[in-house]
Amino acid sequence: MTLDTKKVLRLQFLARVVRKECQHLAITDSRLFKSLFTLAEVAQLETDPDLAERVEAFVGRFGRLQDTVGDKLLPQLLAALGEKIASVMDNLDRAERLGLIKSADEWMTMRNLRNQMIHEYVEDPVLLANALQTGHSFVPELIDAAGKMIAEIEQRGWA
């Protein structure tokens, strides 16, 4: 399939951005999760600025990568592949069928988790600790999905 230059340039740009976002998230993830993120660490957030910054960086980078991949790269890639662009859930279902993501349902869980990490940040330490730990467990899947989409772009000669 031949794409016009504008679409190819957009895919190339998104692939570059996603690569950088993956690297940044992986670094922050490794710095924040040397062990389980506990309630004791949540309690330290107000008195440990370094820890608070790492949590903020993780939440931001997790959310940004999830947004960039799911809401920008995926629709552009699906369109380039000749797939119809529809609702987020329909796009995720197509991505799952194409083997670009492991599970549309898990992706929606990641999307909801991002919102929970942002909105529960101040209010509930138990929810925050659980959301952060769950987010950490999804990082490999998120980075893997990004890699599969970039690989598809490269394989088709659009990179």
The whole-angstrom separation of Cα 105 and Cα 111 is 10
pLDDT, residue 37, reads 84
pLDDT, residue 120, reads 56
Q: Is the pLDDT of residue 79 over 70?
A: yes
pLDDT, residue 55, reads 93
- What SS3 string covers 56-124? HHHHHHHHHHHHHHHHHHHHHHHHHCCCCCCCHHHHHHHHHHCCCCCCHHHHHHHHHHHHHHHHCCCCC
Q: What is the pLDDT of residues 95-150, one digit of tens each?
A: 999 999 999 999 999 998 887 787 655 578 888 888 899 999 999 999 999 999 99
pLDDT, residue 121, reads 59
- Residue 83 tokens read as 């797939």
Domain residue limits, the chain: 5-155
